[in-house]
Structure 1
Amino acid sequence: MSIFSFLFKEQNLPDEIQIMDREEYKDAISKGKVQLVDVRTKGEFMSGHIKGAKNIDFFQGTAFESAFSKMKKDAPLYIYCQSGNRSQKAARKLVSMGFTKVYDLRGGYRSWCY
């Protein structure tokens, strides 16, 4: 992987995945009941999270898949992690599981200051 492709990896995302800036993400999740998931570990989640988020740890393999299999695949899904890297990997996995609209928080929880 070249440094250029590493720096611009967001451009290679499937159409089903959209990276949103903090303000846009905040507006989107504040418009009623949404599927909002924190894909960090339980410890990270317990140290602080976005209000209303459900914790589904990306590193839990089959438990991760099982938890998401109970969610609506055709409804928008908002995810985030600590920095944005893990949630991009999670987003790709979720698209492969059939999710059609996955929204990821650019910069992750680290960029969240509300």
Structure 2
Amino acid sequence: MKFHYLLVTLLVINLGCVQSNGKHITEFSQNDIESGILMDVRTPEEFSEGHLDNAVNIDWFEADFIKNVDTIDRARPVYVYCKMGGRSAKAAYVLDSLGFDKVVNLEGGYDAFIANKSN
């Protein structure tokens, strides 16, 4: 367990040194995930208040985050989002470092998605 905390901490520290593959959430469509996975890294409470269709909720703040993402097929594209984009950027970096083939951070987060939807 301590190893997981250390790994996440080291990965977050190095986050600024790596460019991640990103796409603004308003440019995302359900067609993008035909063969991929949509991952919401917000808390279960946030998730229950609303989320994108077909999203899987894996809480970034959960101590077992790395163990929980280990159940996901690394060969499938993973599209990650959160409330505003901070947690998903960190999670995308972790997923990339764990060997997932394609990880896309949906920038702007759920708030930007909802704001765009209401326009």
TM > 0.5 between the two? yes
Counterpart for residue 52 of structure 1: 54
Counterpart for residue 13 of structure 1: 18
Q: Which runs of 5+ in 1 are unaligned?
A: 1-9
Counterpart for residue 6 of structure 1: none
Q: Distance in 1 between matches of 2:94 and 2:25?
A: 23
The alignment of Structure 1 onto Structure 2 pairs a total of residues equal to: 101
Alignment check: 8 A CA contact 2:38 2:56 kept: yes
Q: Distance in 2 between matches of 1:67 and 1:39?
A: 11
CA shift for structure 1 position 13: 3.4
CA shift for structure 1 position 99: 1.0
Would you say 1:86 and 2:87 are equivalent positions?
Answer: yes
* TM-score normalised to structure 1 length: 0.77
The alignment's C-alpha RMSD in Å is: 2.1
* TM-score normalised to structure 2 length: 0.74
% identical aligned pairs = 36
Q: Distance in 1 between matches of 2:105 and 2:94?
A: 13
Q: Distance in 1 between matches of 2:57 and 2:30?
A: 21
Q: Distance in 2 between matches of 1:74 and 1:12?
A: 24
Q: Following TM superposition, where does structure 1 have runs of at least 4 consecutive aligned residues deviating by more than 3 angstroms?
A: 10-14
Q: Distance in 2 between matches of 1:11 and 1:27?
A: 29
CA shift for structure 1 position 100: 2.1
Q: Distance in 2 between matches of 1:21 and 1:41?
A: 21
Q: Distance in 2 between matches of 1:21 and 1:27?
A: 14
Residues 39, 66 of structure 1: CA spacing in aligned structure 2 closer, same or farther, 3 A cutoff? same
Q: Distance in 2 between matches of 1:92 and 1:111?
A: 21
Amino acid at match of 2:93: R
1:71 is paired with a residue whose SS is coil
2:29 is paired with a residue whose SS is helix
Amino acid at match of 2:41: V
